[in-house]
Amino acid sequence: MLFKQKKKKEIDMHNLPRHIGVIMDGNGRWAKKRGLPRSAGHSAGAEALKKIVTEANDLGVKYITVYAFSTENWKRPKEEVDYLMNLLLNYLKNAEQTLSGENVVIRAIGSRAEFSEEIREQIVKTEEFTKNNTGIVMNIALNYGGREEIATAARRIAEMTLDGKIKPEDIDDKLIGENLYTASQPDVDLLIRTSGEQRLSNFMLWQVSYAEMWFTDKLWPDFKPSDLCDAIIDFQNRGRRFGGV
Ligand code: IPE
Ligand code: IPE
Ligand code: MG
């Protein structure tokens, strides 16, 4: 506890990342190390997530996007996918009570059509329930893929062009950004990936263009609020130039 407070004091509250992206990886390996089924790792991961969102909110971070299920994760065994869907449903139900109490705004990003009706309805319910909160905005990336997101934006823009609402020369990076799931939100400043893998795995391809990347070998269920503080402190010590000098 004391240690945590000490770390927090090292953070410059005037230079917080506005938007943090998190690739929560390593649940399966965490479980394997303990001789447990992969599902146990996913449950432990969901618990870790609550603490991280609460910490980010307490610090005053405005946006956090967490990668919970990718467009590629359907490739996993049916049993694991079913477990993840059930965990997701319960997480959303529970978040209405716990995270809303913390003033968190919960939004889902990704393609919803592939989910069951029960999950789709719960997503709408949780978003409605939390939309007037004033704390951190938490985007949960569900059936999310960066390429799918850009393709969806391209389709929408093509329709606007056909309808005569815009001309091809009106299409610029601002318009594309406004048609992504994260429209009106700032780009990702800090991208965190756990479990030692150093790749994007189709996460926020557009929004991370100038993000600072931070990797740790820790597996997601072991990731603690103090690790989030470490990542932010490291972020604050980097020289961001955005192509300038
Ligand atoms: C991340 O953990 C959670 C999801 C992708 C749903 P993994 O399930 O990918 O865990 P590892 O990478 O196999 O250890
Ligand atoms: C990325 O992790 C997706 C999520 C964390 C939800 P994966 O475990 O699916 O990614 P790869 O397969 O290692 O690239
Ligand atoms: Mg993984």
Longest dimension (CA), the chain: 61
Give the model's pLDDT for residue 4: 62
- Ligand 2: atom nearest CA of 68 is 6
Give the model's pLDDT for residue 1: 56
DSSP 168: G
pTM above 0.75, yes or no: yes
CATH number, domain 16-230:
3.40.1180.10
pLDDT tens digits for 127-179? 999 999 999 999 999 999 999 999 999 999 999 999 999 999 999 999 999 99
Best mutation site among 30, 73, 148 for ligand 2, i.e. most ligand atoms within 8 A of its Cβ? Answer: 73
Give the model's pLDDT for residue 3: 63
Give the model's pLDDT for residue 179: 98
- Decide whether any atom of ligand 1 lies within 6 Å of the 221 Cβ: no
Residues of the chain with pLDDT below 70 are: 1-4
Assigned token pair, 180: 């992504």
Instruction: State how far the Cα of 227 lies from the Cα of 222, in Å rounded to an integer.
Output: 9
Instruction: State how far the Cα of 160 lies from the Cα of 141, in Å rounded to an integer.
Output: 26
Give the model's pLDDT for residue 8: 86
